[in-house]
Amino acid sequence: MQKFVRIFLALTMCLFVSSCKTKKGDTTTEEARVSTKSEVFRTLSIDKMSFSLTLAGTELNSSGSIRIARDSVIICSIMPLPGMEFFRIAINKTGVIMINRVDKKFVSVTYDEMRKKGMDLNYSAFEAILTNRLFLYGEDYFPKSSDFGATEMNGRVKLTRTKGNVLQEFEYNSSKELSSGSISIGYDYFTEWRYSDYFNVKNIRFPRTTFLSIKKGTVRRDITMTVENIELDKDRNFEVKIPTSYQRISMDEFLKIY
């Protein structure tokens, strides 16, 4: 399980690494939004899901849960056994908290601190990928139709956006479901994700399975997430409490351990 946590953390960090800076954009009412899924729920809860991580031919599996308060916080728990939380990651707009329940250690770091170590994090991208939405990498506002170039073939629509050395692509299938996306940053970083097995939650289509692959340099990491249920707008506790007995360690110490 320690190895699972190391790969999970490495994958999470790679997802966030970017050469872009997060900016605040302005929206206009004249331009139609491309996707409104984010506007029809406040919270998203997945109480039962499975993770399958692959690195260098090694596959590791665990169960867990994810809670999302839209545009606010993501809480991910790794639970090898029902009700037994091994590890928790809380991501919000100001930083990241990572808690190891077994070793009783935690790290709490702001995005500014992580940028000094060469990790430029982007909360909005991670939330959008987990909730099957479009996003503009390095931006905090929701996309507009004019933000992308569009091509259509056999009922499928491909959206493309290039800004600097960052290329973003999204594809909708013939059922008008967002089926895949990717980000390329120069020649060193590539992330792609694919969705499948859609089902209805309060008349909103969500994928049951999300496959995410991250390649940085010559290292590739894959994760498959399969959900058993999704609940929308359920009032949940998003507070992250750390027991006073837990030892706080620095980011450098944390990365050395894991």
Report residue 217 CA to chain centroid gap.
Answer: 20
For residue 96, what are the domain limits? Answer: 2-257
Rounded CA gap, 109 and 112, in Å?
Answer: 8
The pLDDT-based confidence of 110 (bands split at 50, 70, 90) is confident
Alpha-carbon 253 to chain mean position: 24
What pLDDT is stored for residue 32 in this prediction?
Answer: 44
CB atoms within 10 A of CB 105: 17
Question: How far apart are alpha carbons 128 and 133 in whole angstroms?
Answer: 5
> pLDDT-based confidence at 38, cuts 50/70/90?
low
**pLDDT recorded at residue 185:** 84
pLDDT on residue 20: 39
pLDDT band at residue 29, thresholds of 50, 70 and 90?
very low
Residue-wise pLDDT tens digits, 123-144? 888 888 999 999 888 777 778 7
Span 67-82, pLDDT tens digits? 999 989 999 988 877 7
What does the DSSP assignment read for 137-194? TTB-SPPBGGGSEEEEETTEEEEEEEETTEEEEEEE-TTS-EEEEEEEETTTEEEEEE
Q: What is the pLDDT of residue 187?
A: 82
Quickly count: other Cβ atoms within 10 Å of residue 137's Cβ. 19
| Radius of gyration of the CA atoms of the chain, in A | 18
Reading phi first (left if > 0) and then psi (alpha if -120 to 50, else beta), residue 174 is in alpha
Number of domains in the chain: 1
CATH (domain of 86): 2.50.20.10
Share of the chain above pLDDT 90, in %: 32
So what's the pLDDT on residue 12?
Answer: 60
pLDDT the model gives residue 23 = 42
Mean pLDDT computed over every residue of the chain: 81
At residue 255, the pLDDT reads 66
| Amino acid 118: pLDDT | 60
Split at pLDDT 50, 70, 90, the class of 120 is low
Is the pLDDT at 165 greater than 80? The verdict is yes
Coil/strand/helix, residue 15:
helix
pTM, full prediction: 0.80
Q: Which of 1-10, 128-137, 158-167 has the lowest mean pLDDT?
A: 1-10
